[in-house]
Structure 1
Amino acid sequence: IDKLTGSVIGRPKSATFRTADVVGLDTLAHVANGVRESGVEANDFNNVFSLPEYIQKMVDNNWLGSKSQQGFYKKVKNAEGKSEIHGLNLNTMEYELQGKSSFPTLELTKNIDKPIDRFKVLIGGKDKAGELYRKSLGALFAYVSHKVPEISDEVYKIDDAMRAGFGWENGPFEIWDAVGVQKGTELAKEAGYEVSDWVKNVETFYKVNDEGQSIFFDKNSGNYSNIPGQEAFIILDNIRKNKTLWSNSGSAIQDLGDGIINFEIRSKMNSLGGEVLDGLNRAIDLAEKEYDGLVIGNQGANFSVGANLAMILMMAIEQDWDDLNMAIAYFQKSMMRVRYSSIPVVVAPHGMTLGGGCEMTMHADKVVAAAETYIGLVETGVGVIPGGGGTKEFALRTSREFHSDDVKNNRLRDAFMNIAMGKVATSAYEAYDMGILENHKDIVVVNKNTQILEAKKVAKLMADQGYTQPIEQKVKVLGKDALGMFYVGTDQMLTGKFISAHDKLIADKLANVLVGGNLSEPTVVTEQYLLNLERETFLQLCGERKTLERIQYMLQNGKPLRN
């Protein structure tokens, strides 16, 4: 059940039973009983809120979930002393190690990125998963239809409540629209419920008007009404049909109006491959010729998880070094175009903004970040250093802070530690402290829904004030003196068994780039000098067997290998 009711349908990973453990079974019982007892109408679904016997037994046994260390799940030590998660067998009421579940219906949705697009496939499943989706969604649709007007007169308010309060990516009426109003009504009937009479007049709960704003079916008037506050949003899904100027398999360009265009990354997990970089360069070309500014933003779950690792692994295994070198150089050139184009470029990161996504953000003229942004350079976790200008950019930013009487090595050490440890800021505000966002130019918005519009306003303002194309900067690097400090530090870390030999190799090569290579004294160099050094180091590390092991492990398991 938890596999079927979690992230696959746009709900929290804790899904159903794990969520009950986190909240507490006693709380679950109180809430369910309270809802059941307060129901007065025939359609209050009171039977749904009647607790099964096993929940009452769990409450009596004080198996309340996380607060009592056991509920539907329990952490136990196996014979080898390692922790395992055991699940409660509801027939025997004993805990046991659960095997992995597999459903053919889920396999059909693997290539569908957005949860909202999966529902049509899920309800057609021929296995138990399909049966669960049909029954649960049918009951859900019937239930929410009868909560209008009891809970709210407007369907969008119920959807807003489920998104904000329960972490659903899509509200119940949005999901109903996704499967079709008539189909949803049929599912409710098959599940043994009837939807409310007002739904019979509905063709669809939501539409998009000519201005690209969402409108909803108003039960009271029988017509469609505007959702208040929509004027503060730009919803890319709504403008995609009429405002898309160009698209390929991984990206698209939309006209936001007022002379500003948007570049949207739309690849799987918003990874940055060749098709995305081609789109980015096309967007900059178009903005420089015909528009006033460019926003780089999307409204997916994450801004970008970074470069296309599968492509890098394939090239490295085949030892196709020339093509890999060209691919990295193209990435670097694209980031430098973000920095040095003739029009203002505003990047709007949110969610996971890792590796290349972070590098793109750091090269923007300005950043309009969502408060909930997890951003950082995480390349050491896959055995390489940031190769798209991230290492260069930290060296550049650190050199700006050098003062004549300052202990310069300490400032450089902070940048080194952020990259070497793959540190990720857990919010946009922490990104200021790490030097990824800059106080003098970058801003944070709390409401992610307003982010694209806010970024557009910033780009427009910069253009109206007379944007001047920047010139490439010089970077002061410290050379051998600082390099010795880093080598001593990594030696001590290795001796103390805090890092592996491969970690040390990566860290030493990273340090070499940050200090500008094996220079005899502090020297002023160009950005391109550091980019060349960065790219050469990236390629060297791709030739290491343990780096390839790390990349492969990340692709297979979604987490870093510390070999």
Structure 2
Amino acid sequence: MTIQALQKSASSIRRAAVIGSGVMGAGIAAHLANAGMRVTLLDVVPQSLTADEERQGLTLADAKVRNRLAAAAVAKMGKSQPAQLYDSSWAARITPGNLTDHLDALGEADWIVEAVVERLDIKQQVLAVIESARSPGSIVSTNTSGLSAASMAEGRSEEFRRHFGVTHFFNPPRYMKLVEIVATADTSPEVVRLLTEVCEKRLGKGVVLAKDTPNFIANRIGTYGMLVTLADMLAFGLTVEEADALTGPTMGRPKTATLRMLDIVGLDTLLHVVDNVRERSSDSAEQAVFARPALLEQLVAAGRLGEKTGAGFYRKIKGKNGSEIESLRLDTLEYGPKRPVSSPVIDASKTAKGAAGKVKALLGSDPRDRYAKFAWSTIKKTLLYAAGQVGIIADSLSDIDRAMRWGFNWELGPFELWDAIGLRNSVQRMQKEGDRVPEWVLSWLEAGNESFYRMQGDERVYAASGAYQAESAEPDTISLAALKAAGKTVFSTSGASLIDLGDEVALLEFHSPNNAIGGDILAAITRSSKEVSQNWRGLVLANDGRHFCVGANLMLLLMEAQSGDWDEVEEIIRFFQGSMLQLKRLDRPVVAAPHRMTLGGGVEACLPADQIIYSPETYFGLVETGVGLIPAGGGCKEAAAMAAHRALAASSGKPGGDLQPHLNTLFETIALAKASTSGFEVSRIGLMRPQDRVIMRQEARIAEAKRAVLALDRAGYSPPAEERIRVAGREGGAVLKVAVQAMRLSGHISKHDALIAGKLGSVLAGGDIQPGAEVSEQYLLDLECEAFLSLCGERKTQERMSHMLATGKPLRN
């Protein structure tokens, strides 16, 4: 491969090699396999035998021993939690080996990723070995969290350096969106372009271009934020719990906040990152900021490194009623019971909507409040530090914001946060308090600008070189927020909005709490069906919420069941079923694009669609049995239809194929409340249809769904006719009943589980009817409704519903 060959697209990268099978190396190898690449995973040859190898009579010359490290990493992939692979069988795409015996494999690789220990000398040695075996023109990248790319490439040939750069994946590689790409002065722009394209399009990542500075972008800003939080926690006399209560969701950041996150990362790891910045910085002020905190040094010296040693700022101990969490007492460095934190400041933030609203509420409270002072101090320092790094760690403030959102899961990057709290007023407050604000920020305000970002037409622009510049869009993405800001909302209710996607395609967005389906969403579906039929070419079902849909509004159902208002419960079910039928019968194509949690009613909202475009991180399942119910929004009816279609396909289109094996699979999936661990695994649990598919980039799902709608429309779309569904009948139901009884007798399920499963099996088989009979869709919907109503009246079902609402976890009773 030559530089000219790099003009190819990302699809030209077919074979990869990863050096280093530790946590990051194995995770990167797994995700390359997720993208369909054939991967060779190499590590060093062990220098000694394990006790198990000695018992087997193996020697250091045996391949099993020599490949042990990489082979063990591959073996763990199928069992890892969280899962590294989208499908556990894809571990077969990875070939384990060692750097001594299988070095020639590097010559076949289009892309070689070095992911060994974070030591410059060792990385330099490994890169020298890679150069001796790679083919000219192959790309080589290092996964490092902050070592100098230029230093690593020292001593390598000019051709190697042109093809070398940093691809810094965040852990775990499958789930974390950010990849920081860092080029050296010698890296070919074509290599940067191809790496960016591969990471974005093949791996589904968000790429930012970072400069070759200590710890790049996200770790640089994130580490600084952790350091000022530690310092301010002590300065304001806060407890560990108080600091985390104020630096988590109240600031638009993850629940892990600061100190819990430090425990996960490792306190010794943070010290390593701090040292790296301090030792490579020539700025005395920055060196002082990145001095080692005495508290961290004390904890590390005592072996309290966080989760990996069982204790850090928190520790988990076994109590009488299970595990209990204790927190560190900063005055004694002893542990005590974790204490709840509450105050008007925190309460105001909790009740505010959105990250911007939460932070404004936090800072807008009584300025004399200790919590408000702490929050302002930590936020102020982080904003000023980030502003001082523009042009140093990244060329644009947009890349800094994206790095913090994608790498640290902040809801708002530092400059977006600055806009949210009010740029001009906050700068005036900083100056009044004697802080030095970067000159470019003051010049920006003096020019009459009031924010770093603003909407210009339907695109977002940001502050750059004295003028607003269009923010580079992620490839193949459609922003619903931008469309709504541009006035593209057709109608909006409390639970959903219909949005114009362009090209006469509309999108129905759920935005109720947790996107749970209630009457407001069902009414919007009905209204959208009529609107789209009259004025649009098709409809997309998707949203930008944290999850697509967690199911039906369980609280509403429980309240009606507990009050014994069965007519109201039946009306809710019939409304749900009717809304789903409207989607299925719509005379325009409908494409669903779910993401993340898509459970219960969320699945039932997708199944009427002509096609489902899954994002890779889609957790899809009809899980109603977990709350003592069965699917009754058409889920059972659609499952019975799937079984019939598969039986027909298995018999090459001849009627009379065996329904039972297909019915058994779907019964097990629904009865055990199985949900997929990825979009790809929907097929494994039996809920994917032939026309459905998965795409690698979650952010591209709406654009892809829109294309699918237009393709169906161009093909001359006509809605599916109401079908007659062949069912297994009483004999098929009896087979399922025997399976339920066997599980009950073996103690695997409770008496109530057996009741639920029995009703489910009867509905899926079509009730007490002749085997092979063909029934209408409404017949199966009626069976669903009857079974659902009877289960709602069961005390143990109501207990399960109450427990799920209170704890978020299923109850087995």
Query: Which TM-score tier does this pair reach, normalised by the shorter chain?
Result: over 0.9
Is residue 157 from structure 1 mapped to residue 399 from structure 2 by the alignment?
yes
Aligned counterparts, 1:335-346, within 5 A: 335-346=580-591
Structure 1 position 38, deviation (Å): 3.1
Aligned to 1:505: 755
CA contact (8 A) 1:142 1:188 kept: no
The match for 2:508 among 263, 280, 285 is 263
Q: Which amino acid aligns with 1:139?
A: K
Q: Which amino acid aligns with 1:374?
A: Y
Any stretches of 5+ residues in structure 2 without a counterpart?
A: 1-242
The match for 1:4 among 234, 238, 246 is 246
Quick one: distance in 1 between partners of 2:370 and 2:794?
46
CA contact (8 A) 2:665 2:686 kept: no
Aligned to 1:40: 282
CA contact (8 A) 2:250 2:362 kept: no
Aligned to 2:772: 522
The match for 1:366 among 604, 611, 615 is 611
Aligned to 1:66: 307
Q: Percent identity?
A: 39
Aligned to 2:441: 199
Aligned to 2:427: 185
Aligned counterparts, 1:102-117, within 5 A: 102-117=342-357
Change (3 A) 1:475 1:500: same
The match for 1:123 among 349, 356, 363 is 363
Aligned counterparts, 1:333-412, within 5 A: 333-402=578-647, 403=650, 408-412=659-663
Is residue 455 from structure 1 mapped to residue 705 from structure 2 by the alignment?
yes
Aligned counterparts, 1:222-233, within 5 A: 222-229=466-473, 232-233=476-477
**What whole-Å deviation, never above 9, does each CA across 1:414-441 have from its counterpart, x for those lacking one?**
1111111111111111112223333x32
Quick one: distance in 1 between partners of 2:433 and 2:273?
24
Change (3 A) 1:431 1:130: farther
User: Per the alignment, in what secondary structure is the counterpart of residue 203 of structure 1?
Assistant: coil
Quick one: distance in 2 between partners of 1:435 and 1:122?
47
Quick one: distance in 1 between partners of 2:685 and 2:454?
43
Structure 1 position 145, deviation (Å): 0.4
Quick one: distance in 2 between partners of 1:213 and 1:454?
20
Change (3 A) 1:60 1:444: same
Change (3 A) 1:546 1:39: same
CA contact (8 A) 1:213 1:235 kept: no
User: Per the alignment, in what secondary structure is the counterpart of residue 246 of structure 2?
Assistant: coil
Q: Which amino acid aligns with 2:811?
A: L
Quick one: distance in 1 between partners of 2:685 and 2:251?
34
Aligned to 1:414: 665
The match for 1:423 among 671, 674, 678 is 674
Structure 1 position 111, deviation (Å): 4.3
Aligned to 1:175: 417
Aligned to 1:50: 291
Q: Which amino acid aligns with 1:408?
A: L
CA contact (8 A) 1:142 1:185 kept: no
Q: Which amino acid aligns with 1:62?
A: G
Structure 1 position 191, deviation (Å): 7.2
Structure 1 position 188, deviation (Å): 4.5
Select the structure with the greater relative contact order (CA < 8 A; seq sep ≥ 6): 1
Quick one: distance in 2 between partners of 1:17 and 1:258?
48
Structure 1 position 375, deviation (Å): 1.5
Aligned to 2:790: 540
Greater shift, 24-33 or 447-456, is seen at: 447-456
Change (3 A) 1:113 1:499: farther
Is residue 215 from structure 1 mapped to residue 461 from structure 2 by the alignment?
yes
Q: Which amino acid aligns with 2:450?
A: E
User: Per the alignment, in what secondary structure is the counterpart of residue 743 of structure 2?
Assistant: helix
Aligned to 2:318: 77
User: Per the alignment, in what secondary structure is the counterpart of residue 108 of structure 1?
Assistant: helix
CA contact (8 A) 1:244 1:254 kept: yes
CA contact (8 A) 1:482 1:515 kept: yes
Quick one: distance in 2 between partners of 1:464 and 1:209?
33
Change (3 A) 1:482 1:163: same
Is residue 561 from structure 1 mapped to residue 561 from structure 2 by the alignment?
no
The match for 2:538 among 293, 299, 307 is 293
**What whole-Å deviation, never above 9, does each CA across 1:370-416 have from its counterpart, x for those lacking one?**
21112211211111111111111111101111145965323212111
Aligned to 1:272: 517
CA contact (8 A) 1:553 1:561 kept: yes
Quick one: distance in 1 between partners of 2:323 and 2:584?
48
Quick one: distance in 2 between partners of 1:465 and 1:532?
34
The match for 1:252 among 497, 516, 523 is 497
RMSD in angstroms over aligned alpha carbons?
A: 2.1
Aligned to 2:568: 323
Change (3 A) 1:188 1:245: same
Greater shift, 442-451 or 371-380, is seen at: 442-451
Aligned to 1:487: 737
Greater shift, 475-484 or 256-265, is seen at: 475-484
CA contact (8 A) 1:22 1:66 kept: yes
CA contact (8 A) 1:135 1:191 kept: no
CA contact (8 A) 2:365 2:372 kept: yes
User: Per the alignment, in what secondary structure is the counterpart of residue 161 of structure 1?
Assistant: helix
**What whole-Å deviation, never above 9, does each CA across 1:229-266 have from its counterpart, x for those lacking one?**
35733211112141111111111111111111111111
Aligned to 1:22: 264
Change (3 A) 1:82 1:257: closer
Change (3 A) 1:43 1:337: farther
Structure 1 position 187, deviation (Å): 5.7
CA contact (8 A) 1:18 1:72 kept: yes
Quick one: distance in 2 between partners of 1:69 and 1:187?
42
Q: TM-score, normalised by structure 1?
A: 0.94
CA contact (8 A) 2:478 2:700 kept: yes
Greater shift, 502-511 or 92-101, is seen at: 92-101
Quick one: distance in 1 between partners of 2:771 and 2:554?
36
CA contact (8 A) 1:143 1:195 kept: no
Aligned to 1:471: 721
**What whole-Å deviation, never above 9, does each CA across 1:295-354 have from its counterpart, x for those lacking one?**
111111111111111111111111111121111111111111111200011111112111
Quick one: distance in 2 between partners of 1:111 and 1:386?
33
Quick one: distance in 1 between partners of 2:709 and 2:646?
27
CA contact (8 A) 1:332 1:387 kept: yes
CA contact (8 A) 2:352 2:361 kept: no
CA contact (8 A) 1:244 1:252 kept: yes
Structure 1 position 113, deviation (Å): 4.6
Larger Cα-atom Rg: 2
User: Per the alignment, in what secondary structure is the counterpart of residue 555 of structure 2?
Assistant: helix
